[in-house]
């Protein structure tokens, strides 16, 4: 299965809403069944407002939602699509979007795992970043090819970072040090022709309920488009 994103196929990605493991700073991988917090539920409803304000002809309007198999992404999708305006959106799942398998590090404090990685220690059963990147890109490709419209992929922070690295380059993403936050909406604009680079925007909603975009890595809010 190809990992090359098809030309002319745009999409959105979203990290699931805040979970209990996020708050407690625990390693929360593919084996975790952590629940959304009340703040996380509010985050999902905030995204709902953004999606409801996407304007056809000006913005890319979502026509379907694909989640990972983790319950936290399904719960996020259910909340986002829980209003009359979005209840028509079909929600499906793809295992390729699943969170990274952290093996023996599952359930550790984030700090403890980071110290192990810095020491050069190998963590038993931990999936490689390359594996996460490959299967995530394959999942996106198979959900784009042969389909019309713009999908929203609800996945996990590491998966989204791997896709951004594929488009913008690992060095650039490392240099920006921009964190993939819960329920931040990322817009992926495909290259129009072979050899061109794609673009990644961060989407927000202004006080005037107009969609705002800024380029990923640019901390300053971009102009309304």
Tell whether 206 is covered by a domain.
Answer: yes
pLDDT digits (tens, 9 = 90+) for 125-181: 999 999 999 999 999 999 999 899 999 999 999 999 999 999 999 999 999 989 999
Tell whether 223 is covered by a domain.
Answer: no
Closest CA to 48 of 214, 194, 203, 217: 203
Q: What is the CATH number of the domain that holds 201?
A: 3.40.50.1240
Task: Please state the length of the chain.
Answer: 225
Tell whether 225 is covered by a domain.
Answer: no
CA-based end-to-end distance of the chain: 35
Low-confidence stretches of the chain (pLDDT < 70) are: 1, 193-195, 219-225
Query: In the prediction, which pLDDT does 195 show?
Result: 64
For residue 137 the two structure tokens come to 């890109």
Query: In the prediction, which pLDDT does 209 show?
Result: 87
In angstroms, the CA 94 to CA 132 distance is 13
Overall number of domains in the chain: 1
Query: In the prediction, which pLDDT does 31 show?
Result: 86
Tell whether 183 is covered by a domain.
Answer: yes
In angstroms, the CA 199 to CA 64 distance is 21
Q: What is the pTM of this model?
A: 0.94
In angstroms, the CA 101 to CA 68 distance is 13
Tell whether 2 is covered by a domain.
Answer: no
Query: In the prediction, which pLDDT does 224 show?
Result: 38
Query: In the prediction, which pLDDT does 225 show?
Result: 35
Query: In the prediction, which pLDDT does 223 show?
Result: 36
Look up the domain containing 70 and give its range: 11-215
Tell whether 168 is covered by a domain.
Answer: yes
Tell whether 5 is covered by a domain.
Answer: no
């Amino acid at each position: 299965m190809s990992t090359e994103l098809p030309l002319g196929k745009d999409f959105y990605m979203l990290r699931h809403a805040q979970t209990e493991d996020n708050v407690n700073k625990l390693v929360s991988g593919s084996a975790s069944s952590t629940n959304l917090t009340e703040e996380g539920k509010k985050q999902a409803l905030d995204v709902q407002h953004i999606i409801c304000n996407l304007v056809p002809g000006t913005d890319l309007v979502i026509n379907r939602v694909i989640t990972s198999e983790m319950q936290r992404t399904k719960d996020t999708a259910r909340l986002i699509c829980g209003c009359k305006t979005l209840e028509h959106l079909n929600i499906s799942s793809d295992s390729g979007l699943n969170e990274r398998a952290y093996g023996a590090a599952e359930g550790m404090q984030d700090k403890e795992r980071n110290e192990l990685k810095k020491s050069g220690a190998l963590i038993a059963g931990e999936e490689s970043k390359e594996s996460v990147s490959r299967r995530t890109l394959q999942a996106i490709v198979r959900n784009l090819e042969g389909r019309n419209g713009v999908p929203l992929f609800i996945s996990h922070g590491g998966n989204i970072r791997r896709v951004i690295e594929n488009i913008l380059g690992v060095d650039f993403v490392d240099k920006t040090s921009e964190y993939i936050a819960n329920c931040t909406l990322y817009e992926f604009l495909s290259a129009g022709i072979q050899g061109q680079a794609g673009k990644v925007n961060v989407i927000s909603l202004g006080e005037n309920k107009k969609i705002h975009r800024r380029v990923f890595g640019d901390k300053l809010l971009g102009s309304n488009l």
